[in-house]
A and B are shown apart, each in its own frame.
Chain A
């Protein structure tokens, strides 16, 4: 009889990661790469996290383009592939690209799950599957995680547990409705009248999928849809069709700005009482089905009791720029939950941390930070030749996937060290702006309120930071003579000191 030995038996580790979805896998990869003692635990039986079951109607909203001007595996290609995890070794890179059946340039759920499993396999990542995190204590020196397999002690813990626990708004009667995660096959709504509570991604995903089947679809929530914002959002791939029917006056689909006051169950189905928010007065709907597409929360278990502060009605843990709980040091988050660290929000732009493309970089930066802060593992900070500085920064501005996908949130930093200029790599812009440090420059890609994308330069001198936006370019080419001249002038004081 073969005995399969599970990795990471209960005991003491430097860092424990909980979760085996994309963020858990990315964190596991980075911890091993940096040589930090760690364990990875997952209640699931296989990698993939939420993508083992969601989205219900099987397609993501972020692109993977098999064809691109850059080779699969190059850093630049990551801009064309928002769904693969990131790695140093070429064989682990761009896992999604060859799995796409090319019906669309966004993967199906099954393709995404397969891509994550392939990454875990190619990278040889070890995870203790079937090990459920059950309770958490702070023992003064670190944390103790009680699991179904025993106790784990660690100095820091990374929760990569997703934001996929159904959350139901406190509306009387909504408990009779099916939550999004319990929606049935689309053909089972044949000829039915369906009321969907919610107007965000999951609501539109359901509405779009029921369009060929349902007799009538109503989506309602208090917040008005803003079509000017929608155009800049990846959600548009879901929103377009039901919204299009509504705005053109199709009677089959209605999108209503209303607060849902209560839901009554009766012999024929449901009666939904609503009150307008962008208009005055009540509206009552009779329907066969009510679906609560009211979103999700992070499964924080006992962490709030431990003192972890949350926002949005306890759905998301509030985090610092390095994704640490704002109230319990040593507890970190990875994955979707890193939405709880929105960044500087310049011109209203928050981090892009609600999908794999953004949070894969967060996990990488988080592990770099954990390794340096808790385990004295400093990241490499290679020298930059002074005459190469401007070219290096312009190239980063033009092609760095971290800067483009996490606009206004992640930046690249070059420090003036005792022995010359040192590339400090990718870090949150908020850290550069708020934390003291050597004289340095940081670059970021930012977006103005009207959607214009432009490069930005931040200079730190004697711990005062000044910002300098550079000109936008219609094709985002920042390696022009004009940009070279402008950046050269800005970094001149830094170069003068080398």
Chain B
């Protein structure tokens, strides 16, 4: 290829799309009473904690604005920053790899693991490696990947899927977690109770030997500082520290949008991220490292920079800001839709409000009626709570509306929606037709009784009345009322 013009859209691949549209998946999730109780309890807990620790920061709004500006600055300078990062990481003894998509990233990581001679790896929780389906790929290559984050461990042991960015097992309560441990965790105490402290202790015992013997670790990164080549992982349990410190080889997979210009920028994100995600003033552990340090930690460090649809999102001037996301999950916890359906209904590894914009931006949309990611921009009431909670001020509602527009444009003029909108435009663009339609609507009074249509509405209109009462049209239109009362004041 000699020119960049006309380069095909580089769509993201991997676990970014479910196998059915959101309304179908949500329908099943809503019927699960236990799931709704678990989610309601957990999201209410975190909302309260977050509100408390955010309220005590008097310059919170200024920090949010700085976070937004830094991220926008990064997107505009991304090529130079990535080149600088590569140069700095390399100068400090690391090796940088580039991956166009999930397939290429998986192959790079598997080859690096094989080169060490190890057939197992320990992992720090990472959205990037979830997105590319790394564990499944490694398993197919004969490499066992052990998740070490407690929630990831619960998901892995329970043969389940993550349902939240920060707490992948948020859909499980303590008793369900205890039952998974009893059934799946070798050597666990048979009298294990569902006390959270006991469950945490069980996880500690279970992973201890693994940490002390592992040769290779795989992590994600919360940020990378371009001018110093410094990578950072923000965590709670110490499993991150174990993975970043004990093995000989460390492989970090990171989306290209995670780069920050300078070390100083950390002062903003180390304030925004912990308070927004776990509702703490600071998370228990944050580790930063620059390349390799002789005698301290891994002797080999690889950084895999991942595109996988990010450049496609970057090309969208409105959607671009979705790449500002720092994966705090505050938008999930405040979302009335997420709180009721949980994360699985979204299909993608990125659920909730940010997932509803990020997933279709990364994979692209088809315009199809049943395409899972085409349905995500509609999985919102547009209430705006996500925008208010976002620590980097991503205007998710505006993006959802923009993506809905794009979906309608892609779907073309033949859909029922497009036809009815066209009819509506015809009716509403003439005062005479509009007045006539208003009078005709009064006939609807005779078709509705006690909120239900007397005659079942034909598809697709019955989709609306399945869960709603039909409002009974008024006996008089506004125009008629106006004429009667103010007819002389025209």
Asked if A and B are interacting partners, one says no
